[in-house]
């Protein structure tokens, strides 16, 4: 996480300098990055086509949006697209590449080792209301509240998707713009928290997920933001045949989420954008990670989006694969 | 006359009010907050501003059935459904929720004929408004002339004072709610005759020129930029207090089933998809433009008021931070 002792402004300046050159020389026609949003704790996607646009570019602790999701559509308009990639954006890029959703040659990847993005909800709970009350010093956060100064580990305030991320450094890039960092989560122990929260019986699982999924609004933010949801027409919106009613009842919600998550089994890169995007805070990342854990237990270690040449376990067959059909 | 109840005794008040019919309160569901029928021990949150999903769902539920049908041979029987909304109380609505309701009223209630389902819920629900003690960073209702401490159209206005709630009846229905609570309520404390004034920020927006100037902006290049980051989900429309689009569907089979309506969103591709495959709003650009022009031009042209209450829900919940403040700014509605 120690970023060459560059502060974020210096890092932003370095990134801006690198991409400006490529945009002005015509090497890329569009740069996908982040710009400041409405609040200091939000950064939103930036679609930069000019030097003027690039003046708005930022790299701060709130660049959570996974940008790779925008690539397929932008590549249908633009000749060559440059994109800033964190760890999760890079794995999402691999996901799309493996699903043949984009042309590698027409994308220029600028790698950004990610320190993990901060969650405003957690900051607000700790009493941070203004940006000035929060100072980032390496792996610590210095918080100024009425009660005085408090030093806390930065990891206490990460979005859940970032706290659980074992690969904050991009796994693919053409150019790495900042020095690599130290991961804070060991890939081998990434499911430990799930084991601690096992719900052993089907009845317990059903009760828990019914409780969570009954508030689903069917807004499909989880699907729209997902780099593994690549169907041109989702089964949920198909009219002929009609698989899913439009109502917001538990039955419909459960059917949608089960199919969504199974469709991502072994393909989901665990970027957690589904959970971050959910307006009603359903713990969708846990659902995806439970399946990823099952896949590992059944087919051996596999992390989607790490290696585009390694086929997802459910898209391949080996004679030694378990054939776990129950015997009557 | 101002009445007063200790916060610690609110549960008793809820018990009394829920005897009449469903009592809707903002209930925590994980990190989310929605108006739901109260039951004993439910996690009520009357402090957080604002609920994640707007209070519109009390009157325009996510899903609501019209009737059941049953068929035997050549006979088709329609069966009405149980009237669950009778004598309901909606407790804890904010001033912006009530402004949103005014906007829905023009669409569903003040029409000839009115919408039966909406009308029934509206007429049978007494509303207890709750003043905001402190606006959230997302709030900008003052821009629309809303006073967060004084809600229009409520039966009862409540506001926090010390360790409890002051209650002031505004209508006969409000008086009736107060008298039903009986001895649970005390006389209001001296110096608490009115809720304290609260004002929100406005993000430096000005509304002059909207909607008149928008007629010429339909083909403005600004839409080309604005839509790009939109993911095309329906989160903004479902949490919004002034979005009211719905769809009709049948659930069941040939012999038996029900016809219901449920929320729908103009942000979805199939919302305008015609039989035969034509889509008049083929891309997210047309859909984003439609949603915001509906708020800023179409609704005001028809009903005389911008269809935004400044509740801040789209500011808080859009996964890519595309919201109405950004759009108004991009259209030039900024005073700075």
Place of tokens 């004072």: B161
Cis-peptide, bond into residue A146, ω within 30° of zero: no
Averaged pLDDT, groups of 10, chain A, 328 residues long:
65 96 97 97 97 97 97 96 98 97 97 97 94 91 89 96 97 97 92 92 96 96 96 88 86 95 96 98 97 94 96 89 70
How confident is the model at residue A2, as a pLDDT? 41
Rounded CA separation A172/A71 (Å): 15
DSSP secondary structure string, A293-314?
HHHHHHH-S--TTS-TTS--GG
Share of chain B above pLDDT 90, in %: 86
Q: Nearest to residue A121, comparing CAs of A166, A64, A164?
A: A64
CA B293 to chain centre: 19
Count of CB atoms situated within 10 Å of the CB of A82: 23
Is pLDDT at B205 greater than 50 in this prediction?
yes
Residue among B249, B260, B321 whose CB faces A44 most closely = B321
Q: Among all residues of chain B, which has the CA nearest to that of A274?
A: B319
Report how far apart, in Å, the C-alpha atoms of B333 and of each of B130, B210, B213, B329 are. Answer: 30, 8, 10, 5
Distance, in angstroms, between A273 CA and closest chain B CA? 9
At residue B123, φ and ψ (nearest 5 deg) are -75, -25
Q: What is the number of alpha carbons within 13 Å of residue B224 lying toward its C-beta? A: 6
Rounded CA separation B139/B235 (Å): 18
- Confidence band (pLDDT; 50, 70, 90) for B100? very high
For A165-179, what is each residue's pLDDT tens digit? 999 999 999 999 999
For A235-264, what is each residue's pLDDT tens digit? 998 888 889 988 878 999 999 999 999 999
DSSP-derived secondary structure letter, B97: H
B146-165: string of b/e by CB count within 10 Å (b at 16+)?
bbbbbbebbbbbbbbbeebb
Q: Which two tokens stand for residue A83?
A: 């994109």
Asked if the Cβ–Cβ distance from B319 to A215 is below 8 Å, we say no
DSSP-derived secondary structure letter, B334: B
* ipTM of the modeled complex: 0.95
Strand partners, B75: B72
For B128-184, what is each residue's pLDDT tens digit? 999 999 999 999 999 999 999 999 999 999 999 999 999 999 999 999 999 999 999
Is pLDDT at B14 greater than 80 in this prediction?
yes
Rounded CA separation B315/B239 (Å): 11
Contacts of B30 in chain A (CB under 8 A): 212, 215, 280-283
Q: Which two tokens stand for residue B150?
A: 């004084």
Asked if the Cβ–Cβ distance from A43 to B231 is below 8 Å, we say no
Is pLDDT at B62 greater than 90 in this prediction?
yes
How confident is the model at residue A119, as a pLDDT? 97
Contacts of A37 in chain B (CB under 8 A): 321
Count of CB atoms situated within 10 Å of the CB of A242: 11
Is pLDDT at B336 greater than 80 in this prediction?
no
Share of chain B above pLDDT 70, in %: 98
Helices assigned H by DSSP within chain A: 8-24, 51-54, 71-75, 87-98, 120-125, 160-163, 192-196, 202-213, 221-224, 250-263, 273-277, 284-299
- Using only the alpha carbons of chain A, give its radius of gyration: 21
Rounded CA separation A134/A149 (Å): 10
Which residues lie closer than 8 Å to B71 by C-beta, 6 or more apart?
B77, B254, B255, B256
Place of tokens 């691999």: A94
Kind and range of the H or E element at B178?
A: helix B172-181
Place of tokens 């609004």: A217
Residue among A45, A217, A247 whose CB faces B238 most closely = A217
Q: Nearest to residue A246, comparing CAs of B292, B260, B194, B325?
A: B260
Rounded CA separation B11/A136 (Å): 43
Count of CB atoms situated within 10 Å of the CB of B274: 8
How confident is the model at residue B171, as a pLDDT? 97
Rounded CA separation A120/A103 (Å): 36
Rounded CA separation A244/A236 (Å): 6
Place of tokens 């991502």: A264
Kind and range of the H or E element at B260?
A: strand B256-263
Report how far apart, in Å, the C-alpha atoms of B5 and of each of B9, B11, B130, B131 are. Answer: 7, 11, 14, 15
Residues on A contacting B at a C-beta cutoff of 8 Å: 37-39, 42-45, 47, 65, 69-70, 121, 129, 212, 215, 217-221, 223-225, 237, 239, 245-249, 273, 276-277, 279-283
How confident is the model at residue A107, as a pLDDT? 98
Among A127, A240, A280, A285, most B C-beta atoms within 10 A, so best to mutate, is A280
Q: Which two tokens stand for residue B58?
A: 């009390």
Check: CB of residue B177 under 8 Å from CB of residue B5: no
Q: Which two tokens stand for residue A44?
A: 């939103």
At residue B239, φ and ψ (nearest 5 deg) are -90, -10
Sheet of B256-263, strand order: B75-80, B63-72, B256-263, B246-252
Among A217, A274, A278, A283, most B C-beta atoms within 10 A, so best to mutate, is A217
Which residues lie closer than 8 Å to A160 by C-beta, 6 or more apart?
A119, A272, A275, A285
User: How many A×B Cβ pairs under 8 Å?
Assistant: 112
Distance, in angstroms, between B229 CA and closest chain A CA? 6
DSSP-derived secondary structure letter, B233: -
| Per-domain residue ranges of chain B | 2-187, 212-330
Asked if the Cβ–Cβ distance from A38 to B232 is below 8 Å, we say no
Is pLDDT at B226 greater than 50 in this prediction?
yes
Check: CB of residue A81 under 8 Å from CB of residue A108: yes
Check: CB of residue B170 under 8 Å from CB of residue B5: no
Place of tokens 């709630």: B165
Mean pLDDT of chain B: 94
């Amino acid at each position: 996480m120690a970023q060459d002792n560059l502060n974020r402004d210096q890092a932003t300046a370095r990134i801006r300098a690198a991409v400006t050159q490529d945009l002005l020389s015509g090497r890329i026609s569009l740069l996908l990055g982040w710009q400041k949003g409405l609040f200091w704790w939000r950064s939103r996607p930036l679609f930069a086509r000019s030097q003027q646009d690039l003046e708005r570019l930022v790299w701060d602790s709130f660049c959570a949006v996974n940008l790779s999701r925008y690539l397929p559509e932008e590549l249908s308009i633009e000749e060559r697209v440059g994109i800033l990639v964190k760890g999760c954006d890079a794995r999402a890029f691999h996901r799309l590449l493996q699903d043949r959703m984009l042309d590698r040659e027409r994308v220029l990847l600028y790698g950004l080792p990610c320190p993990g993005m901060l969650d405003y909800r957690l900051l607000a709970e700790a009493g941070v209301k203004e940006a000035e009350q929060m100072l980032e010093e390496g792996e610590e956060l210095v918080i100024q509240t009425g009660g005085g100064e408090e030093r806390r580990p930065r990891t206490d305030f990460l979005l859940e998707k970032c706290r659980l991320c074992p690969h904050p450094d991009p796994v693919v890039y053409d150019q790495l713009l900042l020095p690599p960092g130290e991961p804070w989560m060991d890939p081998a122990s990434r499911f430990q928290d799930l084991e601690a929260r096992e719900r052993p019986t089907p009845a317990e699982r059903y009760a828990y997920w019914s409780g969570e999924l009954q508030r689903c609004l069917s807004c499909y933010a989880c699907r729209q933001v997902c780099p593994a949801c690549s169907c041109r027409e989702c089964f949920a919106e198909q009219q002929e045949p009609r698989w899913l009613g439009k109502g917001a009842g538990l039955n419909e919600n459960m059917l949608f989420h089960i199919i969504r998550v199974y469709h991502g089994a072994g393909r989901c890169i665990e970027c957690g954008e589904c959970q971050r995007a959910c307006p009603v805070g359903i713990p969708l990342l846990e659902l995806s990670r439970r399946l990823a854990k099952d896949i590992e237990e059944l087919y051996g270690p596999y992390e989607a989006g790490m290696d585009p040449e390694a086929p997802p376990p459910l898209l391949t067959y080996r004679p030694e694969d378990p054939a776990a059909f129950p015997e009557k | 006359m101002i009445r007063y109840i200790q916060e610690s005794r609110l549960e008793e008040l809820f018990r009394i009010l829920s005897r009449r019919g469903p009592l809707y309160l903002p209930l925590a569901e994980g990190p989310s907050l929605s108006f739901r029928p109260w039951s004993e021990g439910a996690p009520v949150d009357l402090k957080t501003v604002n609920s994640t999903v707007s209070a519109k769902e009390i009157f325009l539920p996510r899903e609501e059935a019209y009737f059941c049908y049953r068929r035997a041979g050549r006979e088709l029987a329609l069966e009405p459904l149980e009237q669950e909304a009778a004598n309901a109380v909606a407790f804890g609505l904010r001033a912006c929720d009530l402004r949103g309701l005014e906007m829905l009223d023009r669409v569903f209630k003040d029409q000839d004929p009115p919408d039966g389902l909406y009308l029934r819920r509206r007429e049978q629900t007494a509303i207890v408004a709750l003043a905001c003690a402190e606006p959230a960073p997302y709030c900008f209702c003052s821009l629309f002339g809303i006073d967060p401490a004084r809600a229009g159209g409520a039966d009862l206005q409540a506001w926090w004072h010390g360790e409890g709630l002051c209650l002031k009846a505004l209508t006969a229905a409000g008086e009736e709610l107060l008298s039903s609570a009986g001895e649970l309520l005390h006389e209001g404390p001296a110096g608490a005759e009115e809720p304290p004034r609260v004002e929100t920020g406005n993000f430096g927006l000005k509304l002059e020129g909207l909607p008149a100037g928008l007629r010429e902006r339909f083909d403005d290049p600004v839409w080309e930029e604005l839509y790009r980051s939109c993911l095309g989900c329906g989160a903004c429309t479902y949490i919004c207090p002034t979005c009211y689009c719905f769809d009709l569907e049948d659930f069941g089979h040939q012999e038996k089933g029900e016809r219901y309506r449920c929320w729908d969103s103009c942000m979805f591709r199939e919302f305008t998809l015609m039989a035969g495959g034509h889509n008049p709003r083929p891309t997210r650009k047309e859909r984003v433009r439609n949603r915001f022009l509906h708020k800023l031009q179409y609704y005001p042209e028809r009903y005389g008021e911008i269809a935004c209450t400044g509740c801040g829900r789209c500011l808080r919940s859009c996964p890519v931070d595309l919201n109405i403040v950004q759009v108004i700014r991009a259209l030039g509605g900024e005073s700075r």
